[in-house]
Structure formats: structure tokens, C-alpha cells
């Protein structure tokens, strides 16, 4: 009986990530197909080929990316963002999501940041985080003086984390991408390090 339980658990852990990934992809594609059919039905009537939703979605995203790359469109977009950046509650939510998206965009600050190990002097504990700020000139007065950095410490199994402001000599860069660090933190570093992860063995 114990062996059956062990085999069942191993089989479940093997198939669960695949099933969940396929299920999420199915929900995404089904939603996109339904939205596309709703938008195109007045134009194409009953004519519809499965997969048009995916193609339409990709083309729409590319078109939006092209348009917002133009200076004139960005000015119009700033007017469209006005309600989202001025309403009290909506402003906080929108600004947070936009800053997060801008950080991971190709033109954002992700390339300027690094994954580091945070070690407090006198403590053997190590924490893996992301340096998100190196300059404090534009922040209000009150922060401690000296060469300091802001380090984001992501939490496992949930979207969240803590940002700490520490002396720069408390952190040591490691050879790991931001995506790999976030992915490992999300699952509490239970996955085995991938090849070429450098010093990924230092886990927080």
C-alpha cells in the first residue's frame, strides 16, 4: 500500500504541472477565440476558422506595440491614462501594475538590475533578492546616508515581498537572471538549479 501511494504521488507531481499549464493555455486561447469571434462576427458573419483568435491577438499586440512606439501616439496615450493616474484608489493600483510592467519591459530597468545575495554582518543567513534602486536622490529626506541600495526580497507561493534598504557592501551579485530568481522564489527554491545558473546554490 505504501508503494502504491508513493507511485501515485510521483505520478501526480509529474503530470500536475503539465496539466495545469495546458489548462491555463486552454482558458487563455478559448477566451481569446470567444472575444475575437464577438468582434469579427459583424464583419465576417458565420465564417470562422479555429485559431483566428490567436492570430488576431498576436497581430493586435504587435500593432499596439508599433503604435505606442510612435511619439504622437504616446502623447495621446498619456491623455487616455489621465483617469487612471488621478483617481485615488485606481491611481495606486494602476501605477503599481504599470511600474511592474515597465520594469520587465525590454526598454525598462530590468537590464540594469541584478540578482544578489543579501548577507547581514554577523549573521549566517542568506537571502536572494533583486536590486531595484541604486540612487536615492529623488526620494524624500530621511533615509540613512552612505552608499546604499534597495533590494526586493520576493516571497514564495504568492505575489508579494519586502523591499529593504541596505548598505551596498551587504550584497553580492550572483550569476542568475531576474526571471530565474523570481521563478525559484515563487516555489521556495525547491526546484533543482539549472545548468549555467552560476552560484545559484546560494538559496534564500
Judge contact between 94 and 100, C-beta under 8 A: no
CATH for 146: 2.30.30
Same domain for 75 and 118, yes or no, is: no
Residue 114 CB-density burial (10 A; 0-12 exposed, 13-18 middle, 19+ buried): buried
Domain limits for position 44: 2-80
pTM comes to 0.49
Each residue's pLDDT tens digit in the chain (204 positions)?
Answer: 777 877 777 788 788 878 888 888 888 888 878 887 787 777 777 777 777 777 877 888 888 777 777 777 777 777 777 777 777 777 777 776 676 666 555 555 544 568 899 999 988 898 898 888 888 877 788 888 888 888 988 887 656 788 889 998 899 888 888 778 877 877 777 766 555 444 444 444
Same domain for 141 and 73, yes or no, is: no
Judge contact between 128 and 202, C-beta under 8 A: yes
Closest by alpha carbon to 53, among 79, 73, 33? 33
Amino acid at each position: 500500500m505504501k508503494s502504491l501511494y508513493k507511485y501515485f504521488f510521483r505520478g501526480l507531481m509529474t503530470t500536475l504541472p503539465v496539466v495545469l499549464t495546458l489548462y491555463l493555455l486552454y482558458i487563455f486561447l478559448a477566451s481569446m477565440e470567444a472575444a475575437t469571434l464577438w468582434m469579427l462576427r459583424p464583419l465576417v458573419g458565420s465564417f470562422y476558422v479555429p485559431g483566428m483568435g490567436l492570430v488576431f491577438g498576436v497581430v493586435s499586440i504587435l500593432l499596439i506595440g508599433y503604435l505606442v512606439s510612435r511619439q504622437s501616439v504616446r502623447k495621446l496615450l498619456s491623455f487616455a491614462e489621465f483617469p487612471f493616474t488621478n483617481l485615488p484608489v485606481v491611481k495606486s493600483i494602476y501605477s503599481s501594475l504599470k511600474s511592474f510592467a515597465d520594469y520587465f519591459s525590454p526598454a525598462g530597468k530590468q537590464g540594469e538590475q541584478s540578482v544578489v545575495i543579501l548577507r547581514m554582518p554577523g549573521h549566517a543567513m542568506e537571502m536572494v533578492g533583486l536590486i531595484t534602486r541604486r540612487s536615492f536622490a529623488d526620494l524624500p529626506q530621511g533615509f540613512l546616508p552612505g552608499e546604499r541600495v534597495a533590494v526586493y526580497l520576493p516571497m514564495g507561493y504568492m505575489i508579494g515581498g519586502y523591499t529593504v534598504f541596505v548598505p551596498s557592501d551587504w550584497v553580492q551579485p550572483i550569476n542568475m537572471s531576474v526571471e530565474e530568481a523570481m521563478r525559484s522564489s515563487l516555489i521556495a527554491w525547491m526546484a533543482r538549479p539549472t545548468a549555467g545558473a552560476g552560484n545559484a546554490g546560494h538559496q534564500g
